[in-house]
Every structure is written in C-alpha cells, then in structure tokens.
Chain A
C-alpha cells in the first residue's frame, strides 16, 4: 500500500468534506417542518420577545383610600399618574383596598389618614401608608421607589411653601440635582435588550440541540455504521454537520437582525457585522462540541433532548443576561466563567449596541476560544473512543 493511499491529499480531504456537508444540508432542507421551526425561532420568536416585554413600571394600578378628603390629600393622590401609575377610582371603604390587592387588580394602595392636611398645615409630620403587593418583587421594588420619590417631593414642596419659600426661590436654594444619562440605550428600550438576548438564546439552543440531534439521529437509525466503514475520519464526519449548522444559523441571524430587529425595533447595529459573524462562528463551533458530547452520552433523541435541556438551561442562566452576575452568590459568580454564553452575550451586546471593536471584546473572544478548544477536543476524543 502506497503512502498516498493511506494519507489522501488535501484536495481529496476537502472534497470529502464538501460532499458530506452537501449531504447534511440536503437532510436539513428536506425537513420543511424543521426549517420552519428554525425560521420561526429567528424571526417570530425574536419578534415576540422584543415586542412583548417591558420590565419598566408601566401602568401599575394604584388605588387611594383618602380618609382626609382635603385639598392636600387630593393633590397628593393626583400625583400618582401615568405612565408609571394608573389611578383607580377612589376607595370608599377600608376593606376594598385589601380586596383589590388580593385579586391582583391593584399593585399599591395609598391610605391617607384623617387629619393629614391639618397636621401638614401645623408643621407636624403627617405620615401616609402604602400597601404594596410584593408577590412580584421586581415590580414592588420599582413601584416603591417611584411612589416614595413622588411623595417625598410632595412633602418637600409642602414644607417649603409653609416656610414661605416660593417655587422660584426654592430653585435657588442649595440642592443637588443628579442628571442621569443612560448610555447605549438612552430610552432604555426593553425591545433592544430582549430582542438581542432572545436571538443569542436561539443561536445557543440550535447550536447545541441541532448538533446533538444530527449526531444521535445517525446513531439511532444505524446510519453511523455506514459512515464508519467509509474512509472518513471522525473530524470529517462531525465537521460537516457543524458547517451546515453554521450556514443555517448565519442565515437565521441575518433574518433576525435585518428583517426583525433593525427595521421593526430600530435596534442600532453600531459595530461591525463581520466581527459579530466571526465571533458567532467561533461560538457555534464551541457549542457544537457540547452537542457532540451529548451525542456520545446518549443512545436516542429523546435522551439527547432531555440532556440538552439540562445543559442549555444552566448555560442560559449563567450567562448573566437574566440575573446580573454581581447579584449572584459568590460561588455561582465563579461558575459564570464556564458558560460560553456569558462571553458570547458580553461580546454580542458590546458589538451590536456599544459599537465595540476587537480591541474591547478580546477577553470575551479569548474566553469562548479557550472553552471551545477544551469542549471540542473532549467531544472529538469521546467520539473517537466510542467509534474508533
């Protein structure tokens, strides 16, 4: 046997790779429902996530139980206005507020005790009570912050008025005004954040589940045997699946960015799309290693799907997109660094929203690449051992 036969040239190696890639793409294209699911994930699903959700305090229902019925109490009540608050009709009896809160029809009930305006006019403290439905912690916190700010401001104005200081004069008193400027997303559009985060999640889900599925399917149907007796190396069997998937996902991302996020939600694409595509490719290759690992651990698709979810959910969770890493317990904060999505979302937001270049995001790229080498190497070596 000549050396040339055992070690085929680069040309043949590439042609085999191309043929296998063509086979994988044909398989994908011949499952129209699967194609629809991929298309749906990158367009409708991203649209839903971007359009549907706002974590801002918007139209939270507030009821006022006014026992004072004075000009001052009415003025205080009238300050709880849209967009944050929606005033409900004034309450007549004490139990009504409790009922509204029980049914979840009001977020807050503000009670103004009798004698409120009298105490205020006499310069005594005139406390008010605020009951907040805290079943939703996030909303309760925002609602509390907004309501107390409004009430404190009201109190301050009343106090200054009582001391005979006019509004114009009050503006000249020594006070500190803090102008908060929000960068990268000045209006704090949840659509930008939610849309991009959903797109990154869809990429993650497809990259892991699809690779695992494409591999396990060959095992389950027994077609892997045919591949193993062919003159293909482990890399030539696995790489075409990854290449096919990279192509599909890039088409999906383009649809997401150019058909949904940019035209419909005005998401600014500030950075280089080429850089984003390169980082994404690196990321998909890394994740396909995970898919390969799952495929070697399972025997059928049902197992692979469940195991995939078990890997996917913690990864999304540890990405820091839902929960800020700063707020996590220290032990969990360390774990964040083993989630490739953590680096990918960091890089993704930086490129798309902040317009960052490679000079800024290189630590993230290094993180993905480091994990990638580790994961892909172990995936390939397990695959080789299983079928070698």
Chain B
C-alpha cells in the first residue's frame, strides 16, 4: 500500500465526481429529498378510512350505532347506502374501504334483552390497513355493546347506568408507550430512514463510478499502471465513503432538527458506527460493480438488490419479529438490520457500545468480508 498512489487516485476520482456537477449535486440531493419526502409523508397511521353504512333497521339505536363510527376520527363517513349491492359496487371501486351493515330488528332485539349481530365488510386489498381498521371496529363495537349491556343490567338490578358500566369494566389498562411517548410515527421512522437511505445511495454511487471506468475503457489505464488492486479499490472508494458519510451527517441534522427526533445517545459512538455502516454499503456497490460489465446492469442490479431489502427487511416498515424465517435469514445477512438497532438505540434509547456491541461486531465483520470478496474478485486483467 503506497499512500502517495492512493492519494493520487483519490484526487483523480474526486475531481471526476466534482466536475460532473449534476452528478455531484444529485449525490447529495437524492438522499436529502428522499428523507424529507418519506419523513413527512410516510405514515403508518391508519386514519380517515372511508366508511359507509347500510342501515336496514332505521331505528334510533341503529342510528346511534352508526354515529359511533361516523364520529370517530379513524373513519371518514361517506354516507348511508340503500342496500348491499351499492356497498358491493363501492368496495369494488375502492371508494370505501369498510361498510357497516346493520340488520333489521337490531333495536328490537337489543331492547327485548337479546343479543344482536352486525356485519362489517372490509376491503382486504391492503392487509395492514384492514387489520388496523378491524381493530378500530372491534373497539368501537365493544364500547357500544358495553353501553347496551350496562343499560340492561342497570334496569334489572336497579342500579345507575354509570355504576353498572363501571362494574363491567373492572380491569382498566393503563398504557405507557416507551421511547416514543406520543407514538409519533415520524420519530420512529426518521432514524430508520437514515439507515434505509444510506443503504440505497452509497452502492449506487460506487457501482456506477467503478463500472463507468469499465464501460468507457479508462480502466485499462489502471490495469496497465503500477497501482495495485488494493490501492485502486481504497483510492476509488474513499471519495464515495466520504460523500456518504457527509450524507449521514446531513440526514442526522434533518432527523433531529426538521423532524424533531430526539438524539439521546452518544454522538461519537454514532458517528463511528455510521462510518462503519457506510463502508459496508459502499462495499455492496463494489461487489455489484465487480459482477457486471455495463452501467445499465449496474444501475438496475443495485436498485433491485438494495431498495427492497432496505425498505422491507430492515425493520423500517415491518418489525424483524414479523418476518418469515427465510426473510429473517436474509435480514441477518444484510447490514441494514444491525445499523437499524444502532440508530434506534442512539436516537431514542440512549444505549451505546455496552448494549449494542453485537451489532457493531456484525457490521465490522460484514465490512471485512465484503472488501475481502471485492478484493479477491477484482482483477487487473479482464477475463476475455
């Protein structure tokens, strides 16, 4: 390893990046834009679910039941429908996502002290949304049902409705949300967003940068020079690691000051692990660039290889515990999951090396393996 040769390559690469002004600008604009977009827009809160009601009973009680849904902020009441056929058509067109169907004799059954049944049709196209809607529906129904039951018991036992209702709810649940007291989703998303975007952007930059030389043929200058493969790889990748690390800092600033995510952990620990992570993801780009010959393939290959795992397998939308066994294995094979633990720990929990050393170790191992593989596979002589 000759430092002078390495620095010469670093300077050459840096000039090449900076002179392509659009590319240089996009290297910073893309991660920041994605963070702002997803941070402001991505929300898993299921609210304003469009809902309609088919009321076959048309009684005071059935109207009260329907009101419980239309008054809820979780549902956006789209009006009364005349019959099931209309409900069918609206669900099919996606104009409503849930329809509550109240049958005839609803009031009559309840007032005569018998149980009544209501049906809700939910559009299951988006499973997470339909599951959450189901939870709201069950909760609203339970509260209405408890009210009816309390009224009935109050009448038969001769106590007040309030007492009867209290007696029916003997086990109230006191909930405390830890780490994110108000359950703001942007808080929980911002740190993981940093991880996901830094999983996508560095491999792109790196793969394109290396394959560009391969495709344009300028790499033959390297092949015929005294530069060793190690020196070439270090010199070539250093500017991309630098750009990516700068991006981490920018995204960190966005997370803290634009999204107001608290940073409770150790800044130095976070910076060092972030550098390690960026080296890992740059290494992914290196591996892709070794495997492909054209920039088109490099671009699409990195897109397919990084975007899906970054979004799906790293715990940003879906918790690791909800992954299937195959996906859990894949998740463990990628660096994103380990760094997600570190960002979440550093931002929201104030834990550092004492708690997170397994993740740091995994990242270090990952970086070593990637660069060893890249070094082994990168040859100064083409196969053909």
Contacts of B171 in A (CB 8 A): 76, 120, 125-128, 151-152, 154-155, 158
Contacts of A163 in B (CB 8 A): 153, 157, 167
Within 8 Å of chain A (Cβ to Cβ): is B60? no
Within 8 Å of chain A (Cβ to Cβ): is B246? no
Which residue from chain B places its CB closest to the CB of A137 in the assembled complex? Answer: B185
The answer to whether B124 touches A188, judged by C-beta atoms less than 8 angstroms apart, is yes
The distance from the CB of B220 to the nearest CB of chain A, in whole angstroms, is 17
The answer to whether B131 touches A137, judged by C-beta atoms less than 8 angstroms apart, is no
Within 8 Å of chain A (Cβ to Cβ): is B374? no
Within 8 Å of chain A (Cβ to Cβ): is B242? no
The answer to whether A185 touches B110, judged by C-beta atoms less than 8 angstroms apart, is no
Q: Tell me the bound Cα distance from A60 to B351 in angstroms.
A: 22
Within 8 Å of chain A (Cβ to Cβ): is B180? yes
The distance from the CB of A158 to the nearest CB of chain B, in whole angstroms, is 6
Q: Tell me the bound Cα distance from A344 to B325 in angstroms.
A: 31
Q: Tell me the bound Cα distance from A156 to B168 in angstroms.
A: 5
A: contact size bracket: 35 or more
The answer to whether A102 touches B124, judged by C-beta atoms less than 8 angstroms apart, is no
Which residue from chain A places its CB closest to the CB of B189 in the assembled complex? Answer: A137
Q: Tell me the bound Cα distance from A338 to B189 in angstroms.
A: 25
* Given A45-B308, A56-B127, A136-B319, A181 contacting B119 (CB threshold 8 A): yes
Within 8 Å of chain A (Cβ to Cβ): is B91? yes
Q: Tell me the bound Cα distance from A119 to B117 in angstroms.
A: 33
The distance from the CB of A175 to the nearest CB of chain B, in whole angstroms, is 5
Within 8 Å of chain B (Cβ to Cβ): is A289? no
Interface stretch, picked from B226-234, B272-280, B294-302, is B294-302
The answer to whether A53 touches B322, judged by C-beta atoms less than 8 angstroms apart, is yes
Within 8 Å of chain A (Cβ to Cβ): is B254? no
In the complex, how many residue pairs between chain A and chain B have their CB atoms under 8 Å apart? 405
Interface stretch, picked from A227-235, A273-281, A345-353, A373-381, is A345-353
Interface stretch, picked from B31-39, B361-369, B375-383, is B31-39
Interface centre among A141, A202, A318, A356 (most CB of B within 10 A): A141
Contacts of B258 in A (CB 8 A): none
Q: Tell me the bound Cα distance from A58 to B38 in angstroms.
A: 26
Q: Tell me the bound Cα distance from A326 to B300 in angstroms.
A: 32
The answer to whether A34 touches B297, judged by C-beta atoms less than 8 angstroms apart, is yes
* A140, A177, A306, A310: the one within 8 Å of B23 (CB): A306
The answer to whether A188 touches B127, judged by C-beta atoms less than 8 angstroms apart, is yes
The answer to whether B294 touches A317, judged by C-beta atoms less than 8 angstroms apart, is no
* B23, B138, B168: the one within 8 Å of A303 (CB): B23
The answer to whether B318 touches A55, judged by C-beta atoms less than 8 angstroms apart, is yes
The answer to whether B43 touches A301, judged by C-beta atoms less than 8 angstroms apart, is no
The answer to whether B117 touches A177, judged by C-beta atoms less than 8 angstroms apart, is yes
The distance from the CB of A343 to the nearest CB of chain B, in whole angstroms, is 11
The answer to whether A198 touches B308, judged by C-beta atoms less than 8 angstroms apart, is yes
Contacts of B309 in A (CB 8 A): 48
Q: Mark A12-56, 1 if CB is under 8 A from B, else 0.
A: 000000000000000000010110011011000100110111111
The distance from the CB of A347 to the nearest CB of chain B, in whole angstroms, is 10
The answer to whether B295 touches A176, judged by C-beta atoms less than 8 angstroms apart, is no
Q: Tell me the bound Cα distance from A174 to B111 in angstroms.
A: 7
Q: Which chain B residues in 110-153 approach chain A with CB under 8 Å?
A: 110-132, 134-139, 141-142, 144-146, 148-149, 151-153
- 8 closest A-B pairs by beta carbon, nearest first, are A52-B327, A185-B124, A155-B171, A145-B135, A306-B26, A55-B128, A134-B177, A178-B141
19 contacts between A and B (CB under 8 A): A33-B297, A34-B292, A45-B308, A48-B309, A48-B326, A51-B327, A59-B321, A61-B321, A123-B167, A125-B166, A131-B178, A134-B177, A135-B179, A145-B138, A152-B171, A171-B115, A206-B300, A313-B37, A346-B94
